[in-house]
Structures are given as C-alpha cells and as structure tokens.
Chains A and B, each alone.
Chain A
C-alpha cells in the first residue's frame, strides 16, 4: 500500500516564500474551506520578491518540463465557476526542463507590479491575487502550488466630500431630516451625523442604522445583484417626539468593509449603503441613504 500511496503523492514539496515575510504586514484571508489564514499584504507598484523552494520527496529525482512562476490577478464569478478572468498575468521562467535531484530554491522577482484592483471576497464574486508555481511534467498533470496574497491600494481622500443632508418621510406619518458629516468614508472612519424628527405620528420602537453591501456581478442581462446587511447599529430606543434630534456615531472599524468598487473589469461592482430602519410596533419601514 505504501507504494500505492506513494504513487499518488506529489513527487515534491513546493513552497513559496516572500523575502520580506517577517516585516510585511499579514492580513487574514478566508479560504474556500472556511479557514482563515494569514497572508501578506501588498499594494500596487510594489516589488514582489521571494523564492520558491522545491524539495523532491523520498529523495527521488524527477523529471520536469520546466518550472515557472506566475503572478495572477483573477476575477472569479461563482455562477461561472471554474472560469477565471485574469486581468493581470506575469510569468517568470524559473528552470528549463530537466531533472531535479535535491531541494532547490529559485529566486523570483516581479518588480513594480501593476495591481489595479483590490482583493475582494464577496458572495458571488472573488477577486484574488496568487503566485502560482507550475512544474510542468510529461504525461501526468503538472504540479501546481499557489500562494495567495492580498492587495490593498490607497487612494487619496477625495477633495470633495460633501455632507449628506436630506429630508425624507412617509406622508403624514414620519418626516425626518438626516445629516451625515460626509458622503464618502474610509474604512476606519466614524460616521457622524444626526437625525432630526420633523413629524412623528407612528409609534417607533427603535431606529437602527444598517450598513448594506450591494454586490452586482456580471453585466447586461446576466447581472446578479446581491445585497447583504453587514451591520445593524441601534441608534435610538423608544419613540421620539417632534423636534428631537438623535445623534449618530458609528465606528466602521469593527466591520469588514471594503472600499466601493465600481465596475471592476466590467465584471462586478460593490457599493455600500447606509440604511435607516425604523421599527414601529407593528412592522418595519425603511428609509435609505447611499454612501
């Protein structure tokens, strides 16, 4: 049985490491199987330097058709599983076809890599970056080893960031005016605002602020829209009277948010909304506000 097991075992172990693993920031990444692993974080225009270690198992030699390492930026749509759209693809040949006898390390370097999009893990779509080492072999499947890494890009704060101020309401039931300090928030930002009650004729039990993520994937007729509520934050308990002004202060940091993505490679968009929810003694009514 050992023989059999050995036959299906990969003939070598492949590991990819980055040259600055110790100093580079690690962020958690949720894998397909639900586990969270820590992976390094990069941003666009950075040099990605590291080495690949290939260690033949059992001390046996094996033949290969060459070793290459690829840096891929992929968008994976789950309804179209298996198809990856590579928007970035860089290749480095590490070795010419030949035989491997012992462990061997290959240096690799991708310098100033253009990585325009950020990693994203949504309901229907995933955007990820991987380093993929392929050891080509004859007749049998290639040996492939992948290393995920995460890309986050910084954009300068927008020069115009107006406050949102709007008066909304349900005729003769509820009129409110809300005001948020900004219309664009960064991920560790605090939403500060207030809600001013102009007219209250319904019995409000409480008021919540919801953060909703709207993810739309595909294009044209094949657009899939998925909305999920990421956060519910109770703003008010009890029924206000007319003229009351309720403060809003919501720290965004505890929530797993991403920046707003607009039409990434024509594949998907992600938008966030702030939703005010009033719960009255019978049912709930919503009033929304984009962000």
Chain B
C-alpha cells in the first residue's frame, strides 16, 4: 500500500503548496493595491518559497509552478510601473537580490530582469547573461529546470534578435544564441541529473518523470529555432558544435536524435556537419560500448535507421561535400553500428552499400585521406568480428574495395589477411574463398596499371608470403568442399603471373597434398559429382598447377613439388601417377635445371625420393633408377659425381622388409664411386701437385660399413680392409697435407669399427675379420 499512500500524500502536499501560494498571493495583492513595495516583495518571496518543496513529482510541481507563474505576471506588471513603487528599475534589480532564499530570489530576479530589459536601461545581453549565470545557484534538478524554464519563458520575446527592439548596438544575435544555448545546456545537465536522484524511487517512475520534463528542455530548441538572426554561418560556428559538445549527455543525444538529425540535411554545405555528425556517432558508440544496459534504448529509438537516413540525406543534400567527408561519416556510422548492433550484419552491409553508392560513378580515389578513411571503414568490421567469414558475407564489401586504387587495395588486402592470420579463422567454403580472393585480388594478381617497377622487392615478398600463409587458412574437413576450395584457390592463383606463382603455388600444392593424404585409398567416382574428390583427380589438378610453375620459370621449385606429389601418389598406390610425376621431374632436370649446383641439389632430391618409392614395378623402377644413376655420373664436378653415385647405391637397397635388396648393384655403385674418387684425387694431384683430402674415401668407407652391417653379401670385410688401407696410405703419403676435416673423420670412423669389434655379439663377429 505504499504507492497509493504516496500518491495521496502528494496530493496533500500539492494542496498545501497551492494553499500557501494563494495565501501569500492574497497578501501580495493587497500590497500591490497599496503600492507597498516592501510588502509586495515580502509576500511574493514567501509565495515563491512554496516552490522550494522537494516532495512533489514533476507533474505536480508543474501545477504548483503554473500557479506561481500566474501570480508573477501580476508582479511583473507592478514592477513595470515605476510610478507605483517609486524605485528605479536598477535599484529594484538589486533590491530583489536581498532575499535570503535563493529560489524566490531568482524568480524575482528573473521577473525584474524581464522588466529591466524592457526598460532598455541596460543592454539586454548583459541582463540575460547575468540571469542565466545567477540561475546556476539552483542545482536541484526539478526546481532548477522549472526556474530556467521560467527564465526562458520571460526572456523569449526579449532576445536581442535581428529585428528585435532589444538589439542594441553592442548586442548581437550571437548574444541571443549564447543565452539560449547556455540555458539549454544547463537545463540539460539538470535533466540528466534527475536520473541519479533518489535511491528509493523506482526506475520506471523516474523515467516517466524525466520524459515529462523533456519537453521543458526541448522548449529551448524551439526558441533557438525562432531566433531569426541565426544564419547558417552562425549555426555552423556556434550553435551546432555547442549543442553537440560534451556537456550533452549521451543519453540525451539518443533521445533527441530525430530532432537533431532532422535539422542536419537542411544545412548548407558550409556547415561542417560531418565533423558534428561523426562526433555524435562516435560518442554514441562509446556510450553504447560503456554499458550493455543502454543497448535496448538504442534499439528503441531506432538509432541506426535514423542516423543512416540522416547521413544519406546529408550527403545527398550536400553535393559539394568532399568524398572524404562522406566516407568519414560512413566510418562513424559503421563504428556505431558495430558497437550497437553487433548482431546486425545487414546493417553493416547497408552502410557499405551506401558507401558504394556514393563512390560509384567516380574515379578511383586519389585523396590520401579518403583512402585512409576507406581502409578504416573496411577494417572496422574485421576488427569487430575477428572473423573474416562475416565480412565475406557482406556483399558490398568487395564493391567498396573496387573503388580503391591499387596501392590502397593492397594495403586493405593485407589488413584482411593479417586479420585472418591473427585470428586463425578458417575459410571453409569455396564461395567464401571466391569472395576472399576477390577482396585480395590486389595481391593475387597484377591489376591494370600497376607499375611493376615501382614495387619494392621486400614488400612484394612479404605480401606474397602473407598470401601463401593465407592459403593454409583455407580449410574444410569435408573433402568435397575442400576440393572445391582448392579449385577455387587454384583458379585465382593461376592468374598471379610469374612473380607470384613461386610464392603461391607451393602452399596450394601442399594443402592439396594434405587433402590427398586424408583421402588415401579413396578410389573412383563416389559421389557422382563432376569432380569427385579422389586423389587421382586432385593429382591432375596439381599437375596443371606445377606445370604453370615450370613456365614461370621456376624449375627447381617445380621439381621439388613434382617429387612431393610423386611421393604422395606413391602413398596412394597410384603407380602411373607417380611415374608421371617422376617423368616430369626428370624432364625438368634435363631441360630446365642447368646450374650445376642446382643439379646437385636436384639429383639428391630425386635420389632421396626415389629411394622411398615402393609403388613402382620392377620395370618402371629400373628405368627411373637407371636414369638417376646416369644423371649422377654426369655431374660436373668429380666430388659431386662421387657423392651422387654412392647415394645412388641406396636406390638398390631399401632397408625395409620387402624392399629391394640388390647387393650387386649396390657394390657396383660403390665401386664406381671409388673410381670417381680416385680420378678426383688424381686430378688434384695433377693440378696442384699434392693429394687432396681423403674425405671422399672416408665417406665411401662409411657407405661400405653401412651396407656391410645391413648384411649386403657383396660388401665384404676384405673390401673394407682394402679401403681402410688405401686411406691410411693416402693420408700417410708425403704429398698429403694433414686435413682438419677428413683426418678426424677417418679417425672416428676407425674408432667406430673398433667399437663394433669390441661390442660383442653377432656384429662383433662380423667385424672380427677387419683389422685396423
């Protein structure tokens, strides 16, 4: 029963207040009739003291206020007539300030002030300024609001507006605007403070009261709009910035959004509306970010729709506005949207769409500021969602990017990629991949008009590395989709041109190989789709991709990739595919790889890969190994030859259970290696007059030992013994200079043999026959 009681009490208090006013008004009237100034002041002050109550709700207080207001009209009439009280208006202005209580004092002061202005004994602006300052003394929200409302009301027809009789020489319309604005600002503050009043009162009730009072505050805006002298210049310089200054609480902005925004498009281009609007939106977004409680409020007032349409109208109305201005506005709006409506992706898209509309039909942006703004515009959603996928669903996103020049486009593309990498978000559908590549096309391929020479090599590398990293982020667990992704990616990558392919193809291939390994063993047409995700199909795609690399030309890379593929094909048990890849690799080796160093590397790669292949039939394998050994023996430098040849020995001895174990050919290789080593030694002897290091021999010895241990029957302890002795003599010959590499190498090899001999067991017995 608390609330009914409260209402009853309020009625009672109101009645008491009204009675008090009537009582004192009665005596005041008597004093007025008697022209007794002293008494008039006394009773009017007492009457106004009734307004000091804190017990009434705004609604009831308003009733009380209106009563007092009527009485004050009579008082004003009295003050106006100096003959009735015989005191000059200046003195009167002082006299009413003697009142001890502030509220009656200020009401009286305002009343006299109004007369004072009318008397024109002082400039209206001074009086108004004084009044609005003095009213600061009332900080109680409700009382202050009503007091200032009274001030606004009595001063309304006395502003030094253009054409007004109160516009003196020194008074300008600026003063009028200043006055109204200041009063407005102060009322606002009070109004906002109302929110924090009284802990015991329920929130809804407070809100209700506040909305009742909102009209009071709004009155000032009406007054402002009625000041004729406010031209646009002034509105720009004074009014708007101040209206939007921080003295305004965010919440208030929210509520009055419509009024405010309604005015914006009407302004002339000279008004710096964009700053104003973007400030407003920034503030609102901060406000929204400050607490989640206020979000419903935003939704309620449909802040987005209002802002959006307002901006649209502003931009439409202000044809002259530089593009950067428009974009700035959109950035602010976007930030706002992201903060307030994080779930409304369509809003974001809408903003971008509007931006596209604005940009369309214009040449690509040249202004660096505008470019920056666009980048900001596009980065905002990325930062917010931390998930590029969201951005990919925005249909207008790429369209905005289209309007950037190449350089900026690249910057933006980098931003996007960085965002993806940072958040390790996976792009999991082919469609998304398409969109993504559309977005970053600045990086993926040459755009028209890009001056290639201008590119900084390092920047380019970094960009392409990023793209390469990005490719790894394209992933889907479903093989079919993954295949589509790969196809999509490949399609885009293939357009990249010779400079990009070396960077972008490898990750694509590796990614595809990853898929193949997942699919291992899957065969044939499982789904009936056009391109089923089978290893075979994928290999075909890969073949094309690598082929592209060979034309770049980047043969070493292509070779490596072929070998990778071959190995994968091996694992998939696809002999023909693997063979094809090897053939390709060999062709490359023969035709493209001419540099001797590259050849060495390549041949070792080939040997290594080939050694691990187990899919080949005898014939195929023979062909390949034969080729490989052939290549090895044809390397330019003897030591390289030697090493390649003894490496080939492994091709004939695969240390698996069912691996090839062709001891004879192993020995052949080793012997051949020895011959080459010998030849090398002799060559050195001839050219330099001293024997070269015995490193090659020691290396071959190690190979011997390996196969010996592996049980190759062709590799005998006698052969090893002979080799050891050969090396020993070589090292001890006079012509051989001690060598820092080969000597310790040999010594430790011998130590190993010693160790094996003494270890005991089967291995020791094997080694027994070797004498060191």
Contacts and interface: CB of A to CB of B under 8 A. Distances in A.
A238 B140 contact: yes
Contact of B100 (A232, A236, A239, A247): A232
B193 to A, nearest CB: 7
Interface string B193-209: 10000000000000000
B719 interface: no
B735 interface: no
B137 A235 contact: yes
B136 A237 contact: no
Interface string A156-185: 000000000000000000000000000000
A244 B134 CA distance: 13
Given A234-B100, A234-B102, A241-B193, A249 B134 contact: yes
B97 A249 contact: yes
Contacts of B193: 241
Contact of A251 (B97, B136, B138): B97
A231 B99 CA distance: 11
Interface string A216-257: 000000000000000111111111110011110101011000
Contacts of A240: 139
Contacts of A246: 136-137, 139
Contact of A237 (B52, B94, B97, B133): B52
A181 to B, nearest CB: 14
B429 to A, nearest CB: 55
Contact of A245 (B97, B136, B144): B136
B125 interface: no
B97 to A, nearest CB: 6
A235 B106 CA distance: 10
B143 interface: yes
Interface string A244-287: 11110101011000000000000000000000000000000000
A236 to B, nearest CB: 5
Nearest to B247: A243
Contacts of B140: 237-239
Interface residues of B, number: 21
B598 interface: no
A237 B103 contact: yes
Contacts of B141: 238
B225 interface: no
B136 A238 contact: no
A238 B133 contact: no
B200 to A, nearest CB: 13
Nearest to A197: B139
A202 B102 CA distance: 21
B53 to A, nearest CB: 11
Chain A interface residue count: which class?
20 to 34
Q: Is the interface of B mostly helix, strand, loop or mixed?
A: helix
Interface in B96-118: 97-98, 100-103, 105
A234 B101 contact: yes
A232 B105 CA distance: 13
Q: Main SS of the interface on chain A?
A: strand
Of B52, B98, B137, the most chain A CB neighbours within 10 A belong to B137
Contacts of B98: 251, 253-254
Given A247-B133, A247-B134, A249-B134, A238 B139 contact: yes
Contacts of B94: 251
Contact of B138 (A232, A233, A237, A253): A237
Interface in B312-338: none
Nearest to B97: A251
A237 B139 contact: yes
Nearest to A234: B102
Contacts of A238: 138-141, 143-144
A244 B133 contact: no
Contact of A233 (B100, B133, B136): B100
Nearest to B140: A238
A244 B101 contact: no
Contacts of A245: 136
Interface string B26-50: 0000000000000000000000000
Nearest to A239: B139
For B105, B138, B144, the residue with the greatest tally of chain A CB atoms inside 10 Å of its CB is B138
Contact of B137 (A231, A236, A251): A236
A236 B97 contact: no
B5 to A, nearest CB: 22
B550 to A, nearest CB: 74
B143 A237 contact: yes
B102 A237 contact: yes
Contacts of B136: 244-247
A30 B105 CA distance: 30
Contacts of B100: 231-234
Interface in A99-131: none
A253 B95 CA distance: 10
B137 A247 contact: yes
Interface string B137-162: 11111011000000000000000000
B138 A236 contact: yes
A115 B193 CA distance: 58
Contacts of B97: 249, 251
Interface in B54-111: 94, 97-98, 100-103, 105
A232 B98 CA distance: 11
Nearest to A206: B102
A235 B102 contact: yes
A254 B144 CA distance: 26
Nearest to A248: B137
A97 B561 CA distance: 148
Contacts of B102: 206, 234-237
Contacts of A206: 102
A247 B135 CA distance: 9
A231 to B, nearest CB: 8
B585 to A, nearest CB: 78
**Most-contacted residue by chain A among B97, B102, B105, B189 (CB, 10 A):** B102
B248 to A, nearest CB: 14
A161 B97 CA distance: 25
Contacts of B137: 234-237, 246-247
A239 B138 CA distance: 9
Contacts of B133: 247
Nearest to B94: A251
Contacts of A244: 136, 139
Contacts of A232: 100
A240 B136 CA distance: 9
A95 B136 CA distance: 68
A206 B138 CA distance: 9
Nearest to B106: A237
A247 B97 CA distance: 13
A260 B140 CA distance: 36
Contacts of A253: 98
A254 B96 CA distance: 11
A232 B101 CA distance: 9
Contacts of A241: 139, 189, 193
A237 to B, nearest CB: 5
B393 to A, nearest CB: 46
A187 to B, nearest CB: 14
A151 to B, nearest CB: 27
Nearest to B142: A238
A196 to B, nearest CB: 11
Of A234, A235, A238, chain B has the most CB atoms within 10 Å of the CB of A238
Contacts of B134: 247, 249
A240 B141 CA distance: 10
Closest CB pairs A-B (n = 7): A238-B140, A238-B139, A234-B102, A240-B139, A254-B98, A237-B138, A234-B101
Given A236-B138, A238-B140, A238-B144, 12 more contacts: A231-B100, A234-B102, A234-B103, A234-B105, A237-B102, A237-B138, A244-B139, A246-B136, A246-B139, A247-B136, A251-B97, A254-B98
12 contacts: A232-B100, A233-B100, A234-B101, A234-B105, A236-B139, A237-B102, A237-B138, A238-B143, A240-B139, A249-B97, A251-B94, A254-B98
Interface of A: 206, 231-241, 244-247, 249, 251, 253-254
